[in-house]
Structure 1
Amino acid sequence: MPGQQTPLETMFLLFKASFGLSHRAVAKMILSDRPLTNGRPTAQMAQDTSWLSRTIVHSQPGSLEDRYFADWSHASKQILHALLKKGYSNDEIYTAISSTTAAMARALSHYGYNGHLYQNAISRLIRRQPDKDNRALVSIALFVSTACWCNPARAITYATNHFSFVNDVESFTLPSRIFSSQIDSKKLVPHPNLGLLRVNDTIILGGPYIIKPSTIGSVIGALALEDGAITDVGPDVSARHLRIYLDNESWWAQDLGSTNGTHLLGIEANEEVDISSGSPVQIHPGDFLRLGLSTTFAVAAVASNKSNQR
């Protein structure tokens, strides 16, 4: 049974299967024309199909150096021009790339990178691109840079620095649902690390996401780019929704001006409290945090030192 495709394999397959672009044709546009120490640029070396397959297409995710690649803005324009020349419309190009969102997210997550963040970027940034004709170009830039860097946060930062987006990324609000949880009110032993489990009633949907003890903490949000950020969230959660951090040996949650608010169901008071004002509120293992209406995290003490996906 074949293994999970890498992000680069996913990218090359999309361009070949959907647009008829060969691996060599794509490589010529995304690889650098600046000479390496051997005096040859990677764009030229890619004409050797064995080297291209071994070194680029099937490379270990995250192993390729920046000097191998062209500037993404220039490369994306070249790819767009090639696809338009083949008769594809901007909308067809965007639709094809958008259709691979789940596949790219799976590839990223499988190799330890943040697939949730990539999915959120496609949903929040690309689909809300004000110039619909420009969606194709921006989606190419995000798709290709994510595949090559294996770093969705870095790819998003590049895209937002080189293209125009809606300043305030709006949220979708889902229909209300009843939020109720039965929790044990017994006192829990504190632990240096805090963990969040994304839950829906009694079902665990994701995690644990580890928050290491520091005054910086971790940010939860659809497009949170900080180290240790948690991006496994629903569509009504803001780009940077909530921060959780340690201060004076206590854990705190602080809403960051979210659109749809944050509620805490505390283990001690056993009542739901709106904490959307932005004032830090102390939290404990056993508490539940609800972001908007779609996303609930159970707070837990954890022993794992595993880091969240990059």
Structure 2
Amino acid sequence: MAAETPCSVLYNDIRSFGGLKHLEIARMLINGNSYLGSTLLEKCSSNRSYLTRYIVHREPDQCAPAIYSDFAVTTLNLSAAICSKLGGGESAYQAIAEHYRGPAANEMMSALASYKLDSRLYANALNHIDNFDGNAVREKSTLYLMLFVATGALADPIQGVATVERFCDSKTGGHFGTTETTVGRGFTGSLEQPRTVAPNLGLLRTHADNCVDMQIHPLTRDPRGTVIGSLPKTSPSITDVGADASREHLRIWLEGGRWYAQGLGSTNGTVLESGAGDGDIVIEPPRDQREPGKIYPPVEIENSDRLHLGLYTTFLVIVD
């Protein structure tokens, strides 16, 4: 059986959880005045066969962003409709929040992974919503649902996250940012220069119990480098990070046969722990410890070093 697409997860979940028919969902999501190819979608709004084949079960590479209405408005309308089906009141919004933070999110991430889309980016966005400045259940339920709807409709977690970010910045007054931790590792250490590195490197995520993930994250040789963070906007990137890593936390690139790492203005900073036993080297202090106007230069990294991003993310540098 073929894997369920992100779009079909969207439609099927809202039908089963929210009690809305596919046709009702489509009428909220899609701009009837738009065209899919040469077809005016308003004329197909009641054609169930067309809806099922060309809208609900669209493959990720067939998605057409131009057919959709504003996702913020759509989400608010869907939220109100689902809330009504669930009986209304704060308990309904609580149920929406729990569902789209829990089982529905898991289904969407599974669909993304099936199509080799970045499910970690979706998971990181959920963590950012968890820490969102707004505390009202209704606000968070809207954000969880909006992430689900935009990601599913577009089959693109990057655009799904961007939709939620824009909504937070312009509508809620909240900040879709990184939770600031009290102290990073080794930020009182010196800023001495490190040494040479091997020509091909990768990163392995390690944990406090000394467990090491088996997945190697290769570092690109492309001059643009690799961005590490919870919600990076560029590719290639590594999103296997903890809750206090910034959206774009650290960049690593190859230049002149040497590998360099530089902070990207992160909230909680980065420290390099020397694999040669030469102590800790600050790549970028936490935001509240940085000197105003100071630019922190790139730091060379090498095999067996450890990179500590904030408190909760550590990577072992290895020869790949």
TM range (shorter): 0.7 to 0.9
Give the counterpart letter for 2:93 in structure 1: N
Match of 1:150 among 149, 155, 165: 155
Give the direction of change, closer, same or farther, for the CA distance of 1:253–1:93 in structure 2 (3 Å limit).
same
| Cα displacement (A) at 1:68 | 2.8
Give the counterpart letter for 1:290 in structure 2: H
Instruction: Work out whether 1:286 is the aligned partner of 2:304.
Output: yes
Give the direction of change, closer, same or farther, for the CA distance of 1:18–1:163 in structure 2 (3 Å limit).
same
Match of 2:143 among 138, 149, 157: 138
Report if aligned partners of 1:233, 1:295 keep a CA contact under 8 Å in 2.
yes
State the 4+ residue runs in structure 1 displaced beyond 6 angstroms: 174-177
Task: List alignment gaps of at least 5 residues for structure 1.
Answer: 178-186, 303-310
Give the counterpart letter for 1:227 in structure 2: S
Instruction: Work out whether 1:210 is the aligned partner of 2:213.
Output: no
Instruction: Work out whether 1:198 is the aligned partner of 2:197.
Output: no
Report if aligned partners of 1:24, 1:47 keep a CA contact under 8 Å in 2.
yes
Which residue pairs with 1:306 in the alignment?
Answer: none
SS of 1:252's partner is: strand
Report if aligned partners of 2:184, 2:270 keep a CA contact under 8 Å in 1.
no
**Partner Cα separation in structure 2 for residue 9 and residue 113 of structure 1:** 15
Report if aligned partners of 2:307, 2:315 keep a CA contact under 8 Å in 1.
yes
Report if aligned partners of 1:214, 1:247 keep a CA contact under 8 Å in 2.
no
Is the deviation greater in 145-154 or in 198-207?
Answer: 198-207
**Partner Cα separation in structure 2 for residue 85 and residue 142 of structure 1:** 20
SS of 2:284's partner is: coil
Report if aligned partners of 2:28, 2:77 keep a CA contact under 8 Å in 1.
yes
Task: List alignment gaps of at least 5 residues for structure 2.
Answer: 186-195, 286-295
Which residue pairs with 1:161 in the alignment?
Answer: 166
Which residue pairs with 1:182 in the alignment?
Answer: none
Q: How far does the alpha carbon of each residue in 1:111-155 deviate from its partner, in whole angstroms, 9 at most, with x for none?
A: 111111111112213651526233333333221111121221222
Which residue pairs with 1:93 in the alignment?
Answer: 96
| Cα displacement (A) at 1:230 | 1.4
Instruction: Work out whether 1:31 is the aligned partner of 2:36.
Output: no
TM-score, structure 2 length as denominator? 0.78
| Cα displacement (A) at 1:75 | 1.8
- When the two structures are aligned, how many residues end up with a matched partner? 290
| Cα displacement (A) at 1:282 | 0.3
Is the deviation greater in 90-99 or in 32-41?
Answer: 32-41
Which residue pairs with 1:115 in the alignment?
Answer: 119
Report if aligned partners of 1:199, 1:298 keep a CA contact under 8 Å in 2.
yes
Q: Kindly, what percent of the aligned residue pairs are identical? A: 28
**Partner Cα separation in structure 2 for residue 93 and residue 29 of structure 1:** 18
Q: How far does the alpha carbon of each residue in 1:51-89 deviate from its partner, in whole angstroms, 9 at most, with x for none?
A: 222222222123211233222123223212322333343
Instruction: Work out whether 1:53 is the aligned partner of 2:77.
Output: no
Report if aligned partners of 2:133, 2:176 keep a CA contact under 8 Å in 1.
no
**Partner Cα separation in structure 2 for residue 37 and residue 293 of structure 1:** 47
Is the deviation greater in 150-159 or in 163-172?
Answer: 163-172
| Cα displacement (A) at 1:44 | 4.3
Report if aligned partners of 2:227, 2:237 keep a CA contact under 8 Å in 1.
yes
Give the counterpart letter for 1:57 in structure 2: V
**Partner Cα separation in structure 2 for residue 129 and residue 279 of structure 1:** 32
SS of 2:61's partner is: coil
